[in-house]
Chain A
Amino acid sequence: MSGGKGGSKTQATQIPDWIKEPAQRNLARAEDLQKIGYMPYYGADVVGFNPMQQQAMQNTVGQAQAFGLAPQGMNAMAGMPQTQSFDIGGGQTVQGYSSAPLYEQAVAELQTRQPEFAQRYNKLYEG
């Protein structure tokens, strides 16, 4: 503070010695983390229809076929992607879908359509 009438004061901020080294390590860790790119989830995202649901849907198709509302031979699950088996241990699996292939496809599409942006992006994580 300074004043023409009453003089002035000065203030200084100091980091205590005991925190300096941990703080430096923390900053270094943060910089290391910044160099790690996005890590997608490759597990199951959406559970598929179970056999009972699939049978119910096929029964509805059967009703529609009986009354001429659907072509003969129509499969209720036609147009649905094939489920994957995800191991949940003990020899058990979950039938479902992972969004990882769609995600990878989107990233590849980005690199194809916007190669300059993709290159800049990738450079962030080099070295």
Chain B
Amino acid sequence: MAGASGQQTAVPNINQASAQALYGAGMGTGRAMGYTPQQVQAGQLATTNLAQYQNPYTQQVIDTQAQDVLRNAQLGLNQLGTQAQRAGAFGGSRHGVAMGEIGRGVAQTLGQQSAQLRSQGFQNAQQMAQQDIANRMAADQFNVGTGLQGAQFRLGAANQLGNLGNLGFGIGQQINQNMMQQGAMQQALQQQLVDQARAQYQGYTGAPQSSIGYLSAALGATPNVSTTTASRQPGLFDYLSLGSTLGAGYLAGR
């Protein structure tokens, strides 16, 4: 960067820096004006695959419980057989009815337990899915908020950059005006010196003409005294008047 004298300056020109700041501020503001917040879409349970929330061990639990029930049922059947044998009714119709009751109860128990476990598993899967949907919504809302904050932050930074650019221009302009004013003072001083020299030169060239005034002044200072001498030369009319006067006197004397 070269100055007026061609010397290199070590620091960047504040006018250029200010221009860059204003340019950057304008770009930043433009981007902020085009800010579009992130779109948030609520999750739906209906479109959620609940299988991923199911307990993968549900069937094992059901099977284990079923084995327990069947084991107990077998114990019951054994007892029933023993009692029927003692009573001499083993294999009879009553024994068969009793065994059927046990079997019905076992089947009912197995069905109820299985249904209850599967229902609990489904409800649990729903709750977890809803919790996930809520979590995603909260995260999305947080991201929207932080995105907006980021945009506002960048807009504020762009504004600050613009202000700094204006400040820089003001500083540069003030310094420029000061330098111009000082330069004008220096020029005025030199101009004054030149004017003085010109005035002296005019005095030199005008000296012969001015010196005429010396003699004129001396002549003007000499008083002139005017005297009037009454020396009258009679004219024709005077003679006629005289003759008329003399003639009138003569006639009167006669």
Contacts and interface: CB of A to CB of B under 8 A. Distances in A.
Interface of A: 2-16, 19, 23, 26-27, 29-31, 33-34, 36-38, 40-41, 45-46, 48-49, 53, 56-57, 60-61, 63-74, 76-77, 79-81, 97, 99-100, 102-103, 105-107, 110, 121, 124
B186 A7 contact: no
Interface of B: 1-17, 168, 171-172, 175-176, 178-179, 182, 185-186, 189-190, 192-194, 196-201, 203-205, 207-208, 211-212, 214-215, 217-219, 221-238
20 contacts: A3-B235, A5-B237, A10-B229, A15-B224, A16-B223, A23-B221, A34-B211, A38-B204, A49-B185, A63-B175, A64-B175, A64-B179, A65-B9, A67-B171, A68-B16, A73-B7, A79-B186, A102-B193, A103-B204, A121-B208
B237 A99 contact: no
B9 A31 contact: no
Given A69-B9, A74-B7, A76-B182, 4 more contacts: A7-B233, A40-B204, A46-B189, A121-B205
Contacts of A107: 201, 204
A7 B208 CA distance: 49
A6 B83 CA distance: 203
A81 B204 contact: no
Contact of B235 (A5, A48, A81): A5
B226 A13 contact: yes
A27 to B, nearest CB: 5
Nearest to B2: A71
Interface of A is mostly: mixed
Nearest to A3: B235
A37 to B, nearest CB: 6
Contacts of A76: 182
B199 to A, nearest CB: 8
A16 B225 CA distance: 7
A15 B198 CA distance: 44
Contact of B233 (A8, A16, A70): A8
B222 A5 contact: no
A96 to B, nearest CB: 9
Given A81-B190, A99-B193, A67 B235 contact: no
